[in-house]
Amino acid sequence: MRKLIAGAFVTLDSVVQDPGGFGETERGGWALEYFDDIARQRATDALLASDTFLLGRATYEILEKAWSNNTGPYAEAMHNLPKAVVTNTLSGPLPWNATALTGEAAETVTKLKQQPGGNIIMYGSFTLMRTLLQHNLIDELNLNVHPVVVGTGKRLFDTALPRSLRFMAATPSSTGVVTLTYAP
């Protein structure tokens, strides 16, 4: 079965919304000053080590608008990576090398994981992420904890998970971000 690796940028107060400053919140863009060359290279390497980028519909629409015309190594890796969008409102092939996957999220992602292929990577899509965690479908969860408090915004966990996560590693960066890696 394919491995699903999920990642999220999160503040000290557990906010995950609008780290890139895409206009979702007044305090958006809070992660940008912490994204250095090393973080960019790690993110590019993670994309290149995967063969599918999994997203929920809302995150797909935000990222497609923000990234589809960007250039550079990270953007090119993102453009080339096939995207699977879990949605019940879109259908068929989508722009930006994407395909809609319809149906119940956990069942749809289970089928995707059972298909031949390499790693599946997922950023954002927090409603989908919570659902997949509840169904034990995420094999690795990387939380990039940023040393900032924004006060308001969507939180990563708005409900308790039915099981605990197992700590795997903590990797600090020179900018103060600590990546915490967990597994089910």
Give residue 143's pLDDT. 96
The total domain count for the chain is 1
How far, in Å, CA of 103 to CA of 113, rounded?
Answer: 15
3-class DSSP state for residue 16?
coil
How far, in Å, CA of 101 to CA of 72, rounded?
Answer: 28
Domain that holds residue 119: 4-183
- What sign for the dihedral angle of Cα 63, 40, 9, 92? positive
For residues 80-105, average pLDDT:
96
| Predicted model pTM | 0.93
10, 143 in Cβ contact below 8 A?
yes
Q: What is the pLDDT of residues 20-52, one digit of tens each?
A: 998 888 899 999 999 899 999 999 999 999 999
Read off the pLDDT band of 162 (50, 70, 90): low
Question: How high is the mean pLDDT of the chain?
Answer: 93
Give residue 158's pLDDT. 74
The CATH number covering residue 85 comes to 3.40.430.10
